[in-house]
Structures are given as structure tokens and as C-alpha cells.
């Protein structure tokens, strides 16, 4: 039996041995309802934002895009229509995937670990980061673990890829285990205010948010927005959050959205979730 036949037989045997539980549909319904319910929890949201965010999200979840004439549509805040808040399809086809090095610079990195070290110190502002080994995901991408200091249990998984330029590595994003961002998704097109949904666990429940356009960094200098919200605390489980962040008018087509948490000891950044985002041309 050749390898293809062996593989086919093995995956079919394994798959056929799996029988999902009978309550799958009920579980899905429950998850959808809980997702909506999550937005109704006033303690998760800034009180001043709660009403506006809930209206936007309920409208986004409940209404078809072409549902004209319903009562809810007239309640939707004009500046925060769900269509204007986020979409998953990037509208800027040629937008670089790179969060780092910054767009418009001539820097390039042949060594992915050197790239991540530069990303950690210059973009995130971590003074003494520890950079792990490259774990290859495929021929042109992989991930590298980043810790704020030796022996730290806080891990940011930095996603790296080889860009169009041969042998040049770029950072395409980063994921912190304690900062899970469900929405917006990477390469979403976002407008102000952007609605953030996910789960978090942080010291004193404080999650920092930065909205950056190309050329800006978390570490220093200007940003379209730098703020914070109250997410999950320091317990064992991640807690859901939902919040809305207003940011200044961008002039560049792309940028990054960064969630981060700070050290309880000295306030320095210890982990970050970073996604690449696009800004609609109408906003610029």
C-alpha cells in the first residue's frame, strides 16, 4: 500500500470513529445567544459607551444589511454604523501585510529572530526581550515566541512571513495568550470608533489599546489613539470584553491595532496582540 493509500485509510478510519454529540445545534444556538448577551453586560463596557456599542452590535447581529425600514435601523448611531466599523475583506488590495518593519522604510531583515528583536524593542518598547527560535509553519511563514524578560511566563507569539522581497522577513501580527481579539480580524478595514470584541486576562483587568497608522509605534511618539479598557482580571480564566475605541483621522492607508498589558512591577509592556488593519480611503 503506498503512502497516499495509507493516509487515506488512516484519516477515514479516524474520522469514522468520531461521532459528534447530538446537541451540536443547541450548543451553537447557545454560543450565538451568549455572544449577543455578552454585549448586554454593562460591567464589561465603559458606561458612557455601553448604550452606543450595544446598539451598534445588536444592529450588526440582528439586522440584514438591506433591512430598511425597521425600527432598529433608525436607532443606529449615524457615526457608528456596523458597515463603517469593520469589514473583514481588505479594501486596499496592495496594502502591505507588514506590521514591522514600518511601511515606507527601506529596512529589511534576513534573520527572522533579528526582526522580532527589533519589533520588540523598537515597535513595542520592551527593553530586554527574550526571542525564541523560529517555528516554521510553512516554507514562507512561521512564528517566534517573545518574552519580556528571561524566565517570564508572559508569552507573545509573533507571526512572521517572508515578504515579496526575497529573503526579507516581516512581522504580520502577534498573539498574546491573555489577549484574544475576535473582532476586528486581521486585515479588517476599520473606521472610528472601532468595536473590539474578545477575551482577556490582565493585571488589574487593564488592557491598553493603541490604534496606529503606518509610521507610528507603540513604544513612543504619536498614535491615532492610545487608551485602555477594563477587561478580565487576574483570575484563572479569560473574561470576555467588548468596547469601542475612537481614534483620530488617519492619513495613511494602513496601520496596526495593538492590545497590550503592562507589568505589575514596573508598568512596562509585557505582552501584546497586534493585527494589521486598513483604513478606508473615505476616512483619509
Kindly tell me which of 101 and 184 has the beta carbon lying closer to other proteins: 184
Query: How many residues of this chain bind other proteins (CB under 8 A)?
Result: 51
In the complex, least distance from residue 21 CB atom to other proteins, rounded to whole angstroms: 6
Q: Per rule CB under 8 A, is residue 36 in the interface with other proteins?
A: yes
Q: Per rule CB under 8 A, is residue 236 in the interface with other proteins?
A: no
With CB under 8 A as the contact rule, the residue among 40, 41, 51, 72 that binds other proteins is 72
Q: Per rule CB under 8 A, is residue 177 in the interface with other proteins?
A: yes
Which residue stretch of 47-55, 59-67, 92-100, 252-260 sits at the interface with other proteins (rule: CB under 8 A)?
59-67
In the complex, least distance from residue 117 CB atom to other proteins, rounded to whole angstroms: 19
Region 79-98 residues binding other proteins, contact defined as CB under 8 A: 87-89
Kindly tell me which of 65 and 150 has the beta carbon lying closer to other proteins: 65
Q: Per rule CB under 8 A, is residue 145 in the interface with other proteins?
A: yes
Q: With helix as H, strand as E and coil as C, how does the chain read? A: CCHHHHHHHHHHHHHHCCCCCCCHHHHHHHHHHHHHHHHCCCCCCCHHHHHHHHHHHHHHHHCCCCCCCCHHHHHCCHHHCHHHHEECCCCCCCCCCCCECCCCCCCCECCHHHHHHHHHHHHHCCCCCEEEEEEEEECCEEEEEEECCCCCCCCEEEEEEECCCCCCEEEEEEEECCEEEEECCCCCEECCCEEEEEEECCHHHEEEEEEEECCCCCCCCCCCEEEEEECCCCCCCCEEEEEEECCCCCCCCEEEEEEEEECCCCCCEEEEEEEEEECCHHHC
With CB under 8 A as the contact rule, the residue among 43, 47, 64, 221 that binds other proteins is 64
Residues forming the site for other proteins (CB under 8 A): 3-4, 6-21, 24-25, 27-29, 31-33, 35-36, 60-65, 71-72, 87-89, 136-139, 143, 145, 153, 155, 157, 175, 177, 183
Amino acid at each position: 500500500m503506498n503512502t497516499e493509500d495509507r493516509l487515506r485509510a488512516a484519516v477515514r478510519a479516524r474520522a469514522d470513529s468520531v461521532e459528534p454529540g447530538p446537541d451540536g445545534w443547541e450548543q451553537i444556538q447557545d454560543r450565538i445567544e451568549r455572544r449577543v448577551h455578552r454585549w448586554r453586560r454593562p460591567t464589561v463596557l465603559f458606561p458612557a459607551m455601553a448604550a452606543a456599542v450595544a446598539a451598534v452590535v445588536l444592529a450588526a447581529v440582528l439586522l440584514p444589511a438591506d433591512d430598511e425600514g425597521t425600527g432598529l435601523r433608525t436607532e443606529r448611531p449615524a457615526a457608528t454604523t456596523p458597515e463603517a466599523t469593520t469589514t473583514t475583506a481588505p479594501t486596499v488590495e496592495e496594502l502591505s501585510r507588514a506590521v514591522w518593519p514600518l511601511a515606507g522604510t527601506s529596512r529589511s531583515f534576513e534573520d527572522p529572530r533579528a526582526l522580532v528583536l527589533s519589533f520588540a524593542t523598537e515597535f513595542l518598547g520592551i527593553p530586554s526581550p527574550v526571542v525564541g527560535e523560529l517555528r516554521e509553519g510553512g516554507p514562507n511563514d512561521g512564528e517566534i515566541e517573545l518574552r519580556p524578560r528571561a524566565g517570564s511566563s508572559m508569552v507573545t507569539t509573533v507571526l512572521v512571513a517572508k515578504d515579496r522581497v526575497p529573503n526579507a522577513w516581516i512581522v504580520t501580527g502577534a498573539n498574546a495568550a491573555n489577549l484574544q481579539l475576535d473582532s476586528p480580524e486581521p486585515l479588517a478595514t476599520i473606521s472610528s470608533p472601532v468595536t473590539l470584541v474578545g477575551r482577556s486576562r490582565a493585571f488589574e483587568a487593564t488592557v491598553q489599546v493603541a490604534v496606529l497608522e503606518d509610521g507610528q509605534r507603540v513604544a513612543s511618539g504619536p498614535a491615532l489613539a492610545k487608551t485602555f479598557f477594563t477587561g478580565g482580571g487576574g483570575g484563572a480564566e479569560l473574561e470576555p470584553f467588548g468596547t469601542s475605541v475612537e481614534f483620530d483621522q488617519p492619513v495613511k492607508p494602513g496601520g496596526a491595532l495593538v492590545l497590550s498589558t503592562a507589568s505589575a512591577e514596573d508598568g512596562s509592556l509585557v505582552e501584546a496582540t497586534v493585527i494589521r488593519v486598513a483604513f478606508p480611503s473615505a476616512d483619509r
